[in-house]
Each structure stands twice: as C-alpha cells, then as structure tokens.
Structure 1
C-alpha cells in the first residue's frame, strides 16, 4: 500500500524545488496538527456540554423526586415552557401524555425503575430532535424520566465547528506562506553555494564566497570555502611542479641535444671525426645526463602521488631498511665513513619508500661531507638521526630544505634536483612520522627522521 503511493508521489516531488517541498511539508504538518487539535477541542467541548447538561438534569430530577413530583397534564404543560419532558416508568411501562406515548424509552429506564440501575443518561432522537434523557429512581418500581432537547448545544457545537474549520484553514494558509518564506530565505545560502559551484565549473575561478551567521549553513559555506582554498592550493602546487620540472629538465635536455648534435656532425663530416677520448667524454656526459633525468623523473612521479599508500602496509624492521640504505650509499661515497649504530624498531609501512627516503638522507649527508669525514647514523626508539661534518645549513635556508626544487645558493653548483629531501618529508607524512633538520653548533647538519612503531619483542 505504501510503496505504490511512493511510486505515485515520487515523480511529482522530483519536479518540485526544495523550497516548494519544504513549504508543502510544513503546510501538511501544520494541517495535520490543526486537524488533531480541532478534533480534540470539538470532542472535549461536546463532552463538557453533555456533562454539564447531565448534571443539571440529574439535579432537577433528584429535586423533583424529593418534592414527590408526579407528571400530570398541567405539569407537562408547564415543563413544556422550558422544553423539558417528564415521564414516569412503572414496572417497565411508560406513563405519559397521549401525545408522547411513542417516546423511545428502552431498557435503561426500565432498569432504573426496577432498581437494577441507580440512574441512566443517554441521547435519543424524537420527532427529528435530539434529546438528552436522564432517569432516576423515584420509588420502588418507579422511575422519573426527564428529556431535554439538545438544540442549543447542537447549535453551539455547529458554531464551534465552523470556527475551528475557518481558523484551521487560516492557520494552514499562514503556515504555507510562512513555510515558503522560511524555506526561500533559509535556502538562500544553498543557492549561493550552487551559483558558486556553477561559477567554478564555468570559469575555473576558485573565489571564496562571503559567510554570514554561525548556523549550519554558515559552517557549510565555510567548509565550501576551505575546499576552494584547498583546490586552489593544489592547482598552484601542480602549476609550480610543472614549471619547476620544466626548468630542471631544460639543463640535461640541452646538454643531451648538444652532445647528440656533436655526434651527428662527426658522423656526417669525416673531417670532424671525434677522437676516442672525445667520444668517451661525450658518451660519459650523455650517460650522466640520462641518469640525472631518470632520477628526476622518478622523483617527480613519487612527489606527484598525493594519495595515501596504495600498498597494504607490512610489518618490517626499520633497522634493516637503514642497513640496506647504508650499504647502497657506501658504494657511491667511498671517501666517507659511516658510523652506524642501530636498534631494532618494528614499523608498519612501505619498505621501498622508506628505503628511498633513508637513502636520500644518507646521499645528502655524503654529498656535503668532505673526503675522509664521518657520517654518524643512529636509530634509537624509532628516531633515526643522520649527522654529517659538512658546512651546515644557513639559518635562512633551514625552513625551506624540504620544499620541492629548493636549492640553496651553495647547492646550485652541485648535482641534484632539489627533490630528495621533499621525498623524505613525503615518506614521513605517509607513515605518520616527522622529519626535521638542524645545524649543529660545531658544524654539520643533523637530520632526525621519526616513525611510530615499537621495539621488537
């Protein structure tokens, strides 16, 4: 029963605006509430009228019994002035005027006359008029019955019914208008958000919108502005990454193009043939530039991944990762001694990313360490420290050493793209850790790479 109704209503509501649906829902809610209140008021007032009439008629009947009242033609005529009819029921038979012989009495009055019921109250129809009938026991086997028309009560209830219907109709109309006004005014921020979203999609301009108030819609607007700011920052980072990558790729590409042109000219012109030493020098330069481009492209791909780890993290000993990185860097930096002391530290993470980050830290230390110096590597309670004996980092450069493509004035003369330490920070962030850099007082730089985990046990 409910599902067919939903299928019938859904196409109608789907074409309505949200404000109209809110207004209709408000109107229906108020209409149901007013209908229930009107019904309760009507039933309560009707019951109160009947109760008041019953109390009045019982009091008159009891007073009449106490005064030994017996209905006669004369008494009936007098009572007719007030609209009250009086009857006597004896032994189950009605004694009254001839004109009222057909008055509809039943077992209620009989029960009162024979003593099985003390009194009775009910409503009957007689000659098209509603009567409230009350019976009290007058004496053994005799009951006094009073019947009073309810025309005045019915007229009052009819007036009350009209008043309730009119007031409910006015209330529903006012509720509909108020619901529409509230919905239209309350949904104004939503319309602004919709317009802002459409503007962003149309113009690609991530301009925040103004926020007024402190309610839920204001918080929604604030969240929307935060999203716009995040998108703007992401676009800025992407543009900066592309610009920086293009700048870094320009140098090796230029060198490669120059070397290839030299080889091509030598191949086309026998007089410009290259000696064996020159060929080896050019090929060595080409190989070096290719390695630099390969490293740069790999770093760019790694930094372009803003999503969290795709691989399921696996338990591993961070000390093993550091050991493998140290062994690899030792081969590339034979003139530097590595003083290594490691404690086991169990972490959950991506071994390849962690190994690359540690390798970048060690490569950086080896690059800045003079020949014959020592790089101190320690792993204690999840904190990896790498200390070199180089010149240290200038105070102005310390806040930027982990930025993409950032290179100090001293580093610009050395090989590298300025992405290694950015990858270190990315690895720390993706594993819930931290990385810091500091210049030591006696010279050199201290990097601290901290990962959450526990000791093996």
Structure 2
C-alpha cells in the first residue's frame, strides 16, 4: 500500500516526467551530435578528395621539376612527381594505374581491400571517366573514392584517391559511447537532486494536505505560512483565504441558527402558553385566537423574509425590465404614505430609464420606508427622493428620527440586527435591511447610510443604470 502511494504520488510523477523529458532531450542530443560529426567527416573527406584531384590537374598543366619541361605524354612521370610531393591524410590512399596495370601508391603499404588482386583495384584500373563513389564491401568496410583518368597519345592513366571510413566511424561511435556514459551519469545525479528538490518544492502541498485533514466545523483556525511568490505560494494564499471565508460562513451559520431559533422560539412559547391556559370563556377564546393569529402572522413574515434572502443568492432572483424612474418614484411615495402617520415628502424626482426589477426595487424602498416609520414619531418627517447621475440612479429615504450611532452602522445591515436606540421593539425580526442590501447587491449596487445621533438617518439605494 505504501509502495503504491509512493509510485502514484505527485512527487514521483514529476520526477518520472522530468527523467523522461531529460532522457528524450539527451537522445535527441546524441542523435544530433552523431549526425553532426558524420556530416563534418563526410564534408572533410570530400574536400580532401577534391583537393587531391585539383592539385593533380594543376600539376598536369605545369612543368616537370626534374626536366623543367612539360610532362607531355609521360603520365608515369606525372604520377611519380605527384605522389612524391603529396602526403595523404589518415586513412587516405593515393593510387595510380597506367594502361590497366598498377603503377604505384602512397603510402606503399595499402590495405587488403585495395591491393592489386582485389576486385576494387581492378575496377580502378578500368575507369575511363571522372567519378566519385561510395562503396560498401561485404566485410562492412566503407570506402569513398574519386578517380581522375588521364589520356595521352597511346597511353591511359588513372589517378584514384580513396578514403577508408570504417576506422573514423568507429572513432565517432566510441566518442558517442563516452557521451552516452557521461549523460547517463548526469541523468542519475540530476534525478537524485530533482527528487529532493521536488520534495522541497511540494512541501507547501503537504502542509495543505495536513491542514485540510485538521479542518473541521469546530476548528477552522488552521492557517499555512506563505513563503515566496510562486504558484504554490499563490495556492497557499488562496487556501488561507478560503479558510477565512469558511470560518466567517460557519460563524454566520451558527449565528443564523441561534438567532432564527430565538425568533421562532418566542412566538411558539407565547402560542403554547396561551393555548395551554385557554378557558371556555368565549371572550377569552377570541382574544387568544387573535393573539395566536398575530404571532403566526409574525412567524409567516419571518419565514418569508428568510426565503427571500435565500432566493437572493439564486440567478433567477431578479426579473429585469425597463423601469421609468419618475413613475416608480411616484408609486413609491404613494405606497409609503400608507405605512404610518408621518410628515411625508417627495423631492428631486429624477427622470430617465433604468434596467432593473421593479418589484424588488419597490420592496427595498418600502423596507427602508417601513424602517423609518418604526424609528420615528408622529411629528417627524420622512422624505423620499431619486437622482440620476450618469450610470447610476439613487433612491433615498431620509428621516428626522433619533439616528443610528456610528458604532452600530457597520452591523445594521446584518441579519437579525436591530438598533439599540429604538424606543420600542420592531415588529420584524431584523431582516428588513438585510433584504435591502441583498436586492441592491443583486442589481450590482450598494446601500449607503449617513446618520448621526439625534439628527436622523438617510438610507440610499445606489443602483447601476444598466446592471451587469
């Protein structure tokens, strides 16, 4: 089991791919080196052959150094002078033939494949046209030769420069074998180094694995130190950020369950207590039924608000359409005046069109108006207004109530949050402003709050004219 985990681990796979790529690169390099050496060998040999023939042609048109006269028809003298002046390269042999018979060679000792009795030497003696050929003999010997026939009155000579490749090819193969040995040694050493480097590079992943094993609903405090700026460091950073979000989400979930349980437990307790004490008196029964109905209505509104907040996270929460801002403001003002006996005002009615969900925007502004009604008195003023500024539209609700302390403004939009300065308990469960924020965010907008104690509060719904 442990062996299987070792071979299936990321570290082993990385090392395997590394060795495979390096081995493939080495193989390509070896083939490339060998082909380069062969190409240079062939080029050097062909240049040497061409050079020998060219020097013979130049000598043929010159003077005999012994007589200071042209060679004329004396082909033998031409061959004798040429061979005495030119020293062949390694594995190179200069051969001359006169009238179909062997004349002389340089060096004098020639390999068996080129001696006078060999078929190749007999072929050389009969050559009548210039040629360059490659010959592979039955024993594997490879010879490249260039022949230059010379014709004079009543006489024919053949000059042949031949090069044996086998020895030089063996030298190249031996050099390649040494290169292979060196590369295999380097591959082994780099594989060992890569194994430890991979372990060090993957250490943050091991820490991530250990952290993931220790993370649970009751312990989300585990964090991993971030070192460097590479991809694994970026992954570690994102993992820590994910844990932060999970920690906040679980904390919010616990608070939600606690607050929701508290909000539901209170009306249930009230209902149970009155039903248990219900008598046969019709008047008392009627009062009990009214009280129970009121508590059930409050529970129903609470459940509806929770369902609305859950739907706000779904893509089909909004039904977008073209909305006339001025007409919407008039409708909002007409509905808001029915919420309570206050000094209602409508100001700065903007004119224009936006893309939005008319019903959700109405719901958000009505929640703000209801919130203002619950936190003001009969003599207070509540003002509704709209403004259109380039790519944004603003809906605001301003009141002259007690205002909201600065310390509470950061949490006032959270679920189940209520202001401690309220003169009486709100009829809701503290979800109204959370719904307003959810509707604004669904439109790609925000909710702004400006308030000072004893100076009222202004809630502004900021919505893009054309939400994303």
TM-score range normalised by the length of the shorter chain: 0.7 to 0.9
**Map 1:15-54 → 2, pairs under 5 A:** 16-54=8-46
**Higher share of residues assigned helix:** 1
SS at 1:104 equivalent: helix
Residue 293 of structure 2: aligned partner = 287
Whether 2:368 is the aligned partner of 1:361: answer: yes
Counterpart of 1:84? 93
Gap change, CA 1:235 and 1:412, over 3 Å in 2: farther
- Residue from 100, 114, 130 that aligns with 2:116: 100
Per-residue deviation, 1:407: 2.0
Matched residue, 2:72: none
Which of 381, 390, 395 does residue 406 from structure 2 map onto?
Answer: 395
Residue in structure 2 matched with residue 296 of structure 1 by the alignment:
302
What is residue 430 of structure 2 aligned with on the other side?
Answer: 418
Segments of 5+ residues of structure 1 without an aligned counterpart are 1-11, 268-272
Cα distance change on mapping 1:132 and 1:238 into 2, 3 Å:
same
Counterpart CA distance in 1 for 2:379 and 2:204 is 67
| Residue in 1 that maps onto 2:238 | 223
**Alpha-carbon distance, 1:312 to partner:** 5.4
Q: Residue 315 in 1 paired to residue 315 in 2?
A: no
Whole-angstrom distance in 1 between the partners of 2:272 and 2:188: 81
Q: 1: distance between equivalents of 2:434 and 2:259?
A: 13
Distance 1:360 1:101 in 2: 117
After superposition, where does 1:230-245 map in structure 2 within 5 Å? 230-245=245-260
CA distance in 1, matches of 2:35, 2:56: 31
Determine helix, strand or coil for the equivalent of 2:120: coil
On the 8 A contact 2:267/2:299 being kept in 1, the answer is yes
1:147 equivalent among 159, 162, 166: 162
* 2:262 corresponds to: 247
1:350 counterpart = 2:361:
no
Q: 1:250 to 1:108 in 2, by over 3 A?
A: farther
State the match for 1:6 in structure 2.
none
C-alpha distance in 1 between matches for 2:433 and 2:319: 22
Contact 2:318/2:360, CA 8 A, preserved across alignment: no
- TM-aligned CA distance change 1:447 to 1:108, over 3 Å: farther
CA distance in structure 1 between the aligned counterparts of 2:151 and 2:331, rounded to whole angstroms: 118
Structure 1 CA distance for aligned equivalents of residues 21 and 293 of structure 2:
79
Return the offset for 1:289: 2.0
Query: Shift of residue 423 of structure 1?
Result: 1.4
Report SS of the residue matched to 2:213.
helix
Matches within 5 A, 1:73-222: 84=93, 86-88=95-97, 95=102, 100-104=116-120, 113-114=128-129, 117=130, 120=132, 122-125=134-137, 129-139=141-151, 142-150=157-165, 152-200=167-215, 205=220, 207-222=222-237
Residues 39-81 of structure 1, C-alpha deviation per residue, up to 9 Å, x if partnerless? 2222222333344444445555555663644479x99xx99x9
Say if 1:162 and 1:69 are closer, same or farther in 2 by CA, change over 3 A. Answer: farther
- Report deviation, 1:216: 0.6
Give the distance between the partners of 1:82 and 1:280, measured in 2 at CA.
Answer: 126
Q: CA RMSD in A?
A: 3.8
Deviation at 1:121, TM superposition (A): 5.6
Label 1:101 to 1:63 Cα distance change in 2 as closer, same or farther (>3 A): farther
